[in-house]
Structure 1
Amino acid sequence: MREGRVPMAEDEAAIREELRVVEEDLARLRETAAELRRSVGENADSPTDAAETATLITMAEEQEALADALEARRETLARKLES
């Protein structure tokens, strides 16, 4: 084994751990975005400030964008485990 190389089993374990963390973060982000969207929907009939509604929608979109990035990372990690 060459200096500086991580044994394959340790490398695979590190990838699996990162994949686990990414999946947890992804679930959390998706739930947060869904809660924000529910909040907007629940307040649709009430006299809510338009700026507040826009802020909630923007926050939900930002959470969804982060989730999309994590989804891509999850796919990359899964491919590494398959190879």
Structure 2
Amino acid sequence: MSNGEELRRLDEELARLRAEVAAMRDQVGGLGATDANERAQMINLADEQENLINELEARRESLLRSSGEG
């Protein structure tokens, strides 16, 4: 896979993950008085997704640097 193709795929994945995290955070905020354990699990899942986003962003930056675009 070329750097350009990998960058395109990373950008798509990042956009999808960012939307998912935003939706999770919105859902947690709108839950009201629900099970605290369930809320904590949703927050943890959103945090894990954000960690994945950070890893993908680092990979994207590395690809940009190696291709001379960054």
Same fold (TM over 0.5): yes
Task: Verify: 1:29 aligned to 2:25, yes or no.
Answer: no
RMSD: 1.4
State the match for 2:64 in structure 1.
78
Deviation string, structure 1 residues 33-80 (Cα, Å, up to 9, x no partner):
11100001111xx32100000011001000000000000000001111
Distance in 2 separating the partners of 1:74 and 1:26:
10
Distance in 2 separating the partners of 1:75 and 1:14:
15
Task: Supply the AA of the counterpart residue of 2:48.
Answer: E
1:29-48 to structure 2, matched below 5 A, reads 29-43=17-31, 46-48=32-34
Bigger-Rg structure (1/2): 1
Kindly report structure 1 stretches of 4+ aligned residues shifted beyond 6 Å.
none
Gaps of 5+ in 1: 1-12
Structure 1 residue 81: Cα displacement: 1.3
**What TM-score, normalized by structure 1, do the two folds share?**
0.78
Length, aligned pairs only: 69
1:41-60 to structure 2, matched below 5 A, reads 41-43=29-31, 46-60=32-46
